[in-house]
């Protein structure tokens, strides 16, 4: 099963590197959104610091959502998904590998460039690290939850809109606690470990439940 996991992960990453436009679209979208707010609101330091946690997290959420529609769509279109359903290995392992590839191509780049975005909003170094840690814990949850919506709407016309309607309400707790951790760090609160513990709990819960739910949704959508 480990070999299957790495084979699917490597396959998806390799295919994405061949078509870099899809990968760069989400990253550029994130950069454009977070860069437009200072231009629209102004360069006042206090205002930019106030809106920074919410803006960065909302932009990361939308960028992750942007890449979800193609998570299973290509495999569904070329028949690869049917072959994956027929192999003797558990479908859950394949689903987890594909979700991991999605996070490596979207969530991880957003997390790595977040400190540079923080400079634009005048965040201090400790606040930037807090934001990075919150994104490390939160962005995998976005990919895991989003995979369920992508599987449920597979093959449907207007699937991207349906994915947004299905999963955006489920993203709200991650958005609230992810942005809240950064906001509390900016307010000078010494102990913000509760926010990270909650994000970690969301991540564990999503890791346990999401691959199974996604696998079941894929079987239904492929019938």
pLDDT score at 46: 85
The CA-to-CA distance between both ends of the chain, in Å, stands at: 25
pLDDT at 204 over 90: yes
Q: For residue 62, give every residue at least 6 positions away whose Cβ sits within 8 Å of its Cβ, in sequence order, or none.
A: 29, 30, 33
In this predicted structure, what is the pLDDT of residue 77? 76
pLDDT category at 114 given cuts 50, 70, 90 is: confident
Q: How confident is the model at residue 197 (pLDDT cuts 50, 70, 90)?
A: very high
- Domain boundaries along the sequence of the chain: 2-222
Q: Is the pLDDT of residue 5 over 90?
A: no
Judge whether residue 155 has pLDDT over 90.
no
The rounded percent of the chain whose pLDDT value lies above 90 is: 23
Query: Which pLDDT does position 88 carry in this prediction?
Result: 77
Structure tokens given for 122: 């005048």
Average pLDDT over residues 148-156: 81
What pLDDT, on a 0 to 100 scale, did the predictor assign at position 160? Answer: 65
- The whole-chain average pLDDT of the chain stands at 85
123: left (phi over 0), alpha (psi -120 to 50) or beta: beta
Instruction: Tell me the whole-structure pTM to 2 decimals.
Output: 0.88
Q: Which of 8-22, 75-89, 166-180 has the highest mean pLDDT?
A: 166-180
Task: Select the more confidently predicted residue: 85 or 151.
Answer: 151
Confidence at 158, pLDDT banded by 50, 70, 90: low
Three-state SS at 167: helix
> How wide is the angle at C-alpha 21 spanned by C-alphas 116 and 10, nearest 5°?
90
Span 186-206, average pLDDT: 90
At 14, the pLDDT band (50, 70, 90 cuts) reads: confident
In the chain, pLDDT over 70 holds for what percent of residues? 96
Mean pLDDT of the 104-109 span: 89
Asked if 190 and 201 touch (Cβ cutoff 8 Å), the reply is no
d(CA 121, CA 34): 9
Tens digit of each residue's pLDDT (9 = 90 or more) over 15-74: 877 777 767 888 888 889 888 888 888 778 888 888 888 899 999 888 888 878 778 877
pLDDT bracket for residue 190 (50, 70, 90): confident
């Amino acid at each position: 099963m480990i070999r299957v996991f790495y084979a699917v992960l490597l396959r998806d990453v390799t295919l994405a590197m061949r078509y870099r436009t899809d990968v760069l679209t989400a990253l550029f979208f994130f950069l454009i959104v977070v860069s437009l707010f200072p231009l629209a609101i102004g360069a006042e330091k206090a205002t930019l610091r106030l809106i920074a946690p919410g803006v960065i997290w909302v932009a990361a959420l939308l960028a992750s959502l942007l890449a979800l529609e193609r998570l299973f769509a290509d495999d569904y279109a070329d028949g690869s998904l049917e072959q994956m359903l027929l192999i003797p290995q558990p479908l859950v392992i394949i689903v987890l590998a594909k979700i991991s590839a999605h996070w490596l191509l979207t969530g991880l780049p957003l997390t790595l460039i977040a400190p540079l975005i923080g400079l634009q909003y005048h965040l201090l170094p400790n606040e930037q690290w807090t934001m990075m840690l919150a994104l490390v814990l939160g962005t995998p949850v976005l990919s895991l939850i989003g995979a369920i919506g992508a599987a449920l709407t597979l093959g449907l016309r207007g699937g991207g809109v349906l994915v947004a309607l299905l999963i955006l309400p489920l993203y709200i707790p991650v958005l609230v606690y992810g942005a809240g951790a950064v906001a509390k760090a900016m307010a000078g609160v010494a102990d913000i470990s509760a926010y990270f513990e909650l994000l970690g709990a969301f991540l564990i819960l999503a890791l346990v439940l999401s691959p199974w739910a996604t696998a079941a949704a894929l079987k239904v959508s492929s019938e």
